[in-house]
Structure 1
Amino acid sequence: MSLSIKGTLKKKLDIEQGTSKSGNEWKSQSFILNTGEQYNPDICFKLFGDEKIKLIENLNEGEEISVMFNLYSREWNDKWYTSADAWKIEKTDSNSQDFEIIDESEIPVFENNQTEEDDLPF
């Protein structure tokens, strides 16, 4: 499942690292995104591996970002845990608009010069 959400980078958490059972080194970093919603506005995302951690290196807390992520759940000891794994982060312009402003002089004007009557009821 791939999803996307916009918000403000609230906090970058410390990088965690360790060694897997198979002896491989790993790194991960979590960050908090504030969506601005009234209820439960903060979401914790996880970045796993050096490549993903680099996505957030040059971002500062308070910047507007868009996060593409996957949700997944897993069971452990009869309990379920859900994770939000970020795989792409883009800095967004807080001054950008989701719509285009059109100059009214560019809108064509159509005049109704119809003098003949039609038999439509409206």
Structure 2
Amino acid sequence: MEMTGTITQVLPEKSGTSARGPWRKQEYVLELPGDFPKQVCFMVWGDRIDQFGIREGQELTVSFDLESREYNGRWYTDVKAWRIAPVGGAGEPGDDRVRDEPPPFDDEPPF
């Protein structure tokens, strides 16, 4: 899936250690254009944080996967970016998904 918009917030990076080793993620808020603009918070894992170098004010097209999980009877949904390209610019070719990116959900806080 893809969405295009402008980065309105860069949230602080989070990190920790799971059974598979250290991990880090960073979340960003993308505002989608329209008469009633919507905002979507998406995340980037690991070395992709540095690779993408996302900054406030950038207009980007974000390719992402959706994933939901249940924790204590509540459901949480993540929007995980796997490719990011500037609007009107050339993105990376092909499907660059990093399949071993996130730690098990048990090692993350539920919120």
1:63 aligned residue (58, 62, 83): 58
TM-score (normalizing by structure 2):
0.72
Going from structure 1 to structure 2, the CA distance change for 1:83 and 1:38 (only over 3 Å counts) comes to: farther
Identity within the alignment, %: 34
Going from structure 1 to structure 2, the CA distance change for 1:89 and 1:55 (only over 3 Å counts) comes to: farther
Unaligned 5+ segments in structure 1 are 95-122
In our comparison, the structure showing a higher alpha carbon Rg is 1
Distance across 2 between alignment mates of 1:76 and 1:46: 19
Distance across 2 between alignment mates of 1:42 and 1:55: 23
Structure 2 counterpart SS, 1:14: coil
Residues 19, 25 of structure 1: 8 Å contact kept: yes
Residues 65, 89 of structure 1: 8 Å contact kept: yes
1:53 aligned residue (34, 37, 49): 49
Structure 2 counterpart SS, 1:54: helix
Structure 1 counterpart SS, 2:88: coil
Aligned to 1:101: none
Residues 55, 89 of structure 1: 8 Å contact kept: no
Unaligned 5+ segments in structure 2 are 90-111
Name whichever structure is richer in strand by fraction. 2
Structure 1 counterpart SS, 2:11: strand
Backbone CA RMSD of aligned residues: 1.9
Aligned to 1:74: 69
Question: Equivalent residues in 2 for 1:1-122 (5 A)?
Answer: 3-20=1-18, 22=19, 24-39=21-36, 41-50=38-47, 52-57=48-53, 59-93=54-88
Going from structure 1 to structure 2, the CA distance change for 1:43 and 1:88 (only over 3 Å counts) comes to: same
Q: Report how many residues are paired.
A: 89
Runs of 4+ with >6 A deviation: none
